[in-house]
Structure 1
Amino acid sequence: MNNTIIYLIGHYGVGKFTIARAIAEATGARVFDNHLANNVIFSLIREDGKTKIPERAWDLIMTIRRQALVAMTELARPEACFILTNALMDADPMDRAAFSEVQAAAEQRRACFVPVTLLASDAAHDIRIPSPDREQRLKMTDADGAKNVRATRQLLRITHPHHLTIDTTDLPPPEAARVIIDHAERLA
């Protein structure tokens, strides 16, 4: 891959970060997991993965994300590839803005932009959500709360021509990564 931005979007526990790492290992792309920005704030407000996050925290996180996009567009080498992760909801204007800002960064870099929606069954989510690794990374660990989000908040609907949807329920992360890499390479 060359000058590609892959944006992995899915509900909590779908495997975004794990798949991003597998793509990075296979390609040398750089991972900008949403928790790189989130945890700057979460670690200061002692986010525990279960308590509702104050609305003001999201404004601060968006500022950090925007600065990371500036670094990607203005400072990173032209051939660099990136994998971003996020749980973006269709009814949330801030989530729509986050998607648009990543797409604009790709356009500014003249990069191949590949948005990917990751899905999984409720049973798969229920197993993945309460893991010690997620707790350590200050991620959502409340399986019931995550199930409620999946039931009441639809993922961002994406109409981009490079969009790909993958069900990760029974697909191991290295195989999901390979599907995404192959898709991105066909588009380049």
Structure 2
Amino acid sequence: MHNTIIYLIGHYGVGKLTVAKRIAATTGARLFDNHLANNVIFSLIREDGRTKIPDGAWDLIMTIRRQALTAMAEIASAEASFVLTNALMGDDPLDRLIYDEVVATAARRGSVFVPVFLSASAAAHAVRIPSAEREERLKMTDEAGAAHVRKMRPLLAVDHPHRIDLETTDLPPEEVARRIIAHAEHCAQQIATSEAVS
């Protein structure tokens, strides 16, 4: 996989990081999990995965995210690929901005951009949300709260020709990763074919 940005989007506990790690291990893509930025601030304010995060924290986190995206666009090697993760909600203007800034970063790099929307059953979420690993990584561990978010806050609406939607409940992470990689490679081939014709 060459100069590709895969953006994994889904509600809390859907398996974004697990799948992202598999993609990175298979392809050599560089992983930018949203908690790499979040936890710089979360660790300092003692975010516990259950209580509301102070509004001011998100401004600080956005600064960190933007510096990371600048590094991707201006410093990372041209052939590098990246896999990013996030829970982006349709009712939050900041989440739309976050998505648009990733799209802009892909454009600056001339990268193949592949938005991936992951979903899972309520039962799968119920098992995954209250895990010790999530608590250690300062992620939401309140299963009832996460279920409320899934019910009341749909994911960001995205219309992109490379979008793929995958249901992760009954698929092992390795298979989800394999399907995403195959899709990303197909998108890259389509672009290459189109450029060769024009």
TM bin (shorter chain): over 0.9
Q: How does 1:30-179 map to 2 (within 5 A)?
A: 30-179=30-179
SS of 2:85 mapped into structure 1: strand
One-letter amino acid of the structure 1 residue matched with residue 175 of structure 2: E
Give 5+ residue unaligned stretches, structure 2: 189-198
Counterpart position of 1:4: 4
Deviations 1:37-76 (A, max 9, x none): 0000000000001011011111111111010000000000
Bigger Rg, which one: 2
Structure 1 CA distance, aligned partners of 2:149 and 2:39? 20
Structure 1 CA distance, aligned partners of 2:55 and 2:120? 27
Structure 2 CA distance, aligned partners of 1:32 and 1:140? 18
TM-score (norm 2): 0.94
- Structure 1 stretches of 4+ moved >3 Å: none
TM-score (norm 1): 0.99
Deviations 1:87-141 (A, max 9, x none): 0001110000000000000000000000000000111000000000000000000
Query: 1:157 deviation in Å?
Result: 1.1
Root-mean-square deviation (CA, aligned residues, Å) is 0.4
**Between the two proteins, what is the percent identity of the paired residues?**
68
Q: Quick check: 1:18 aligned with 2:18?
A: yes
Structure 2 CA distance, aligned partners of 1:146 and 1:132? 16
Structure 2 CA distance, aligned partners of 1:37 and 1:103? 18
Give 5+ residue unaligned stretches, structure 1: none
One-letter amino acid of the structure 1 residue matched with residue 43 of structure 2: S
Structure 2 CA distance, aligned partners of 1:171 and 1:107? 32
SS of 1:169 mapped into structure 2: coil
Q: How many residues align?
A: 188
SS of 1:53 mapped into structure 2: coil
Structure 1 CA distance, aligned partners of 2:147 and 2:22? 26
SS of 1:170 mapped into structure 2: coil
